Amino acid sequence: MTTTKEKKEEKKWEPSFMRLSPSKINTYKKCPREFYYKYIKKIPEKKTIHLFRGTLVHKVLEDLFKTKFRTLSQWEKGGPAMWVQDQFEKGWEEKIAKHKWLWEVHTDEEMDAMYLETEELLQNFVHSVNKKLTEMVKWKIYKSKYQAWNAVAPKYAEKWVKSKEYAIVGVIDVVCNDFDGGTTLLDYKTSKRYGPYLPEEYYRQLIIYAFLYTLEMGEMPQFVGVNYLRFDDTFFVKITQSELDEARDLIKFVHDSLKEREENEDRYEQVPQNLCKWCSFFKGNGGPCDVELPKWKPKAKKKENYADVSNETKGFIELESQEQFPEYD
C-alpha cells in the first residue's frame, strides 16, 4: 500500500515538448508519421479550397451570432439572409484576392462550383434558423422571433479553451444555453455527413472540448454536438464524467507517447491506408513519405471507426425534433 509520504514523492506527471490540440491528436491517432512531418518537421502542406471555404464559413457565422437583429420585420423581410449573403460575397472576394494560389490548383469550374455550394450552405443555415424561430413562436416558447433569437443566440462564438497543466488548446465554434439552464457545445462542419454514425475523430474532438470547457469554466456541458451545415443535421453526445475522463486519458496518452518518441522520425511509424494517396506528405504527391500503399479491396465500413451510437456506451443521440431537445445552430 502506498503511503502518503510515498505519494508526495511520486513524480508529478508533465506534458511533452509540444502543445496539443484536438487536430494534432486526431492526426497522431491516424498516422504518427504524418504527425511528425506536419507538426515536428513543419513541412508545408498542399493547400486546398476546402480549408479556405471552412475558414470563410466559420467567420461569417461568428459575425452573424454577434449581430443583433432588432426588429421582427428584419426576419420577415429576409434581413439575415441578405446580411449573410453580403458578408459571404465580401469575404469571398477578399480571400480570393489574398490567396491567388487557389487559381493555380483549381479550375474556374471548380471555383465556381465551390462558390455556389458555399452560398447555398449559408443560406440553408439561415433558412433553418428562421424556421426554428417560427416554431418557437408557434409553440409559444417565446412571444416573438426577436425574443427567440436573443434567447438562443450563442453565449460564445469561437470560444478558445486551454489548459496549461495538460498543454492543450482548442476553439469551440459556439457555446449555447439550454432551456433547462445547461450548456451545449457545437462544432460546425462543412463536410459530408457519415450516415447514422459520428466519426471517431469528431467524437475525440468533442469530448476534448468538453474536458477543456469544464476545466476552464468550472461547468460540465450537458451535450456536445456536430452540426453538418450542408444538411442541417446535428448529432449530439451526452457528456458525463466518463467522457471527461476519456478525454483526459487520451491527452495524457499522446503526450506520453511524444515523450518516448521525442523528435526521432524512425519512432513515428507509418500507417499505410488508402487515404495516403491524398496526403500532402506522400511521395506520389511530392512529399518525403515512401509508404507503400495497401492493395485496395472493397470493404464494409468497420463500426470501430465510428463512435458507438448506443446510449449505454457513449451516450450518443440523434435528436429528430425540437420537442425532444431544441437544436441550437
* pLDDT at residue 155 is higher than 80: yes
Q: Are strands 183-189 and 223-228 parallel, antiparallel or unpaired?
A: parallel
Q: Which fold has domain 22-250+306-318?
A: Lambda Exonuclease; Chain A (3.90.320)
Model confidence at 328, pLDDT cuts 50, 70, 90, reads very low
Give the residues across from 186 on adjacent strands.
174, 225
* pLDDT at residue 216 is higher than 80: yes
The pLDDT, as a whole number, for residue 38 is: 97
For the record, the C-alpha cell of 300 comes out as 464494409
Give the model confidence (pLDDT) of 28-67 as tens digits.
999 999 999 999 999 999 878 888 899 999 999 988 887 7
Q: Give the three-class secondary structure for 163.
A: strand
Q: Which of 4, 41, 25 is nearest to 206 (CA)?
A: 25
Q: Torsion angle of alpha carbons 49, 50, 53, 58, nearest 10°?
A: -150
Burial letters 234-272, b for 16+ CB under 10 A, else e: bbbbebeeebbebbbebbeebbeebeebeeeeeebeeee
Task: Give this prediction's pTM.
Answer: 0.84
CB atoms within 10 A of CB 296: 8
* Amino acid, res. 103: W
Q: How far is CA 174 from CA 24, 157, 202, 209, 214, in A?
A: 21, 4, 15, 11, 15
The pLDDT, as a whole number, for residue 327 is: 32
CB atoms within 10 A of CB 305: 11
